Structure 1
């Protein structure tokens, strides 16, 4: 059933309240907060690549506090095993039973801190849970809580002892963005509250887990005209046709864009998707999925520039068509 105008307005109101609440812990970063919440309602996962100390942990904790959901933090290290994330079955000598001990992945908001420090085997175990929203151990399947969102981080300034995520695994993250440093006034406000640095502990819940799932289901029904879907397809094809690119936007990436655009539109109180929604989300949803040609990259070409070229070349549908 298509999202109604009234439902879109209600969604936008709750979404704005969540942005304001999370924004109390992450000052001056409302756009990043909107992207993170869009990712959550689109039922995807977020990759943050940023320098240490910019608020990546605070963002994950604030989202968990705002939606009244359990959260966990996994600090990745080179010696970490897959079972350290998913959990392990342990034999109880008293009862003679095998009991499954849940790992930290069984939370609604999971902060996977410095994911590129773990071995490829451990990274793959995490990405499998992200894709399936379940863990299978010794033939038994255990579902993760709902909502379920992984906020993974990478540190771009120190590469010693790290394992770079392959492009095929990067494609499994719905969005990739960075937080960056706050504007000067917000920076001063952060310093004024340095005696209590974790602002997320003071946040009050706006919604609960079941409400998040109902909102996600409603947003997924935001009307997307066939012309807008064609615009998404044309942009994806333009990246694949670019001479600067070895691998353009995949079908998974195009589907991810459609999911995000529906949430983004609903968050603005609209029951329909516009081409401008696609343009606004192109960089966070698509840039990390593009594999550049080495020669083009050496010449200074970037994925962001490829997307800008595609947007300038592909004519969006007119208002009457969309």
Structure 2
């Protein structure tokens, strides 16, 4: 509940996070990460980045080829969090109401009754999101930004926490739709998983072909919940209280301005991109057990947070430039202190 002052009723400034609060967040991230890493083997950096996005209060886009464990990552994370999870398989015939829910006329009560859609969950896996039409993709916009859904003039709150993990196949283009820029901008970060390490892939092959004990059940079934959704929601609120110095905020603004004026970019970082970058940096600091944000936290998360938001100019594309290369140049040329 928001605190108010006795004199004016205005909302009080949230108290900065202390060392003990940061340590609690670090322990939660460590315990959840260890559980998920037992299934998503050899990809601890991927697991850690997923947790950073969760704790920053954002959403994650995973762009990768089929069969590398995108769905396993989402389901194992939900299991370790003790959270409710739903999966939506995006297809060309999927309708917005299939996601948000619909109002149905009840003959008995002679009134319309709202039937919640799959979005009413704590961890939502939007599988192959680019296979649905832009109209259907946009059904997630309000849910991702405001954690609510509006249907027939009525607004319904979503569970807390609410975390979307969307997957997209960047290779196969037939039967897919490009994500609208407004949709991509709602995702805090974009990552790829990549192929597993050889030892992990060997164990997976043996398990799924019945050569190992317990092959009759999914590895996700062995994951135990090490926390609960209420604790995760509290940790997300605590991350917001991580201290940010004015100089760090100024550094983020200068980085954004550098992308907007870069000759190889047709579209630089928006103000929303700066907000997401700073939130991710705060989560990065908290997971390290630190209650304040340093420029190093910003630099550590900028590539996954801004990589999918920058658009290369046509000439830069023809010259083989990459978004990662441009970001590296921006980081090198932008001083930490003004």
TM norm structure 1: 0.96
Instruction: Report whether the alignment pairs 1:227 with 2:241.
Output: no
User: Does 2:93 correspond to 1:73?
Assistant: no
Q: Secondary structure at the match of 2:263?
A: coil
Whole-angstrom CA distance in 1 between matches of 2:22 and 2:305: 22
Provide closer, same or farther for how the CA distance between residues 149 and 222 of structure 1 changes in structure 2, counting only shifts above 3 A. same
Query: Which of 287, 290, 296 is matched with 1:270 structurally?
Result: 290
Q: Which residue of 2 aligns with 1:180?
A: 194
Aligned to 1:141: 155
Q: 2:59 & 2:108 partners in 1: Cα distance?
A: 40
Q: Deviations over 1:191-230 (max 9, x none)?
A: 2332257322211111111111111111111111111111
Q: Which residue of 2 aligns with 1:123?
A: 137
Q: Distance in 1 between matches of 2:53 and 2:217?
A: 26
Q: Distance in 2 between matches of 1:187 and 1:272?
A: 39
Q: Distance in 2 between matches of 1:289 and 1:196?
A: 42
Distance (whole Å) between structure 2 residues aligned to residue 146 and residue 204 of structure 1: 20
CA distance in structure 1 between the aligned counterparts of 2:161 and 2:24, rounded to whole angstroms: 20
What is the SS of the residue equivalent to 1:289? coil
Structure 2 CA distance for partners of 1:95 and 1:26, relative to 1, 3 Å: same
**Structure 2 stretches lacking a partner, 5+ long:** 1-14, 209-214
Match of 1:302 among 322, 327, 337: 322
- Distance between the aligned counterparts of 2:28 and 2:151, measured in 1? 38
Aligned to 2:4: none
271, 279, 292: which one aligns with 1:259: 279
Matches within 5 A, 1:78-89: 78-89=92-103
Aligned residue for 1:300, secondary structure, equals coil
- Is residue 25–residue 198 contact of structure 1 (8 Å, CA) maintained in 2? no
Per the TM alignment, residue 118 of structure 1 is displaced from its structure 2 partner at its CA by 0.5
Aligned to 1:18: 32
- For 1:7 and 1:14, locate their aligned partners in 2 and report how far apart those are by CA, in whole Å: 11
Gaps of 5+ in 1: none
In terms of mean alpha carbon deviation, does 109-118 or 221-230 score higher?
Answer: 221-230
CA distance in 2, matches of 1:229, 1:113: 35
| Offset at residue 22 of structure 1 (A) | 1.1
CA contact (8 A) 1:167 1:291 kept: no
Task: Name the Cα RMSD after superposition.
Answer: 1.3
Out of 176, 182, 192, the residue aligned to residue 206 of structure 2 is 192
Number of residue-to-residue matches in the alignment: 318
1:94 Cα deviation after fit: 2.0
- Deviation (angstroms), 1:70: 0.7
Contact kept? 1:58, 1:198, Cα under 8 Å? no
Cross-structure match for 2:331 = 311
Work out whether 1:62 is the aligned partner of 2:76.
Answer: yes
1:198 and 1:159 map into 2 onto residues whose CA distance is 31
TM-score (norm 2): 0.91
| 1:248 and 2:262 matched | no
Partner residue of 1:239 out of 259, 276, 290: 259
1:104 positional shift: 0.6
Would you say 1:111 and 2:125 are equivalent positions?
Answer: yes
Cα distance in structure 1, aligned partners of 2:109 and 2:24: 52
Aligned residue number for residue 10 of structure 2: none
Tell me how far apart the structure 2 counterparts of residues 22 and 16 of structure 1 sit (CA, whole Å): 10
Q: Distance in 1 between matches of 2:298 and 2:290?
A: 14
Counterparts of 1:41 and 1:7, CA distance in 2: 13
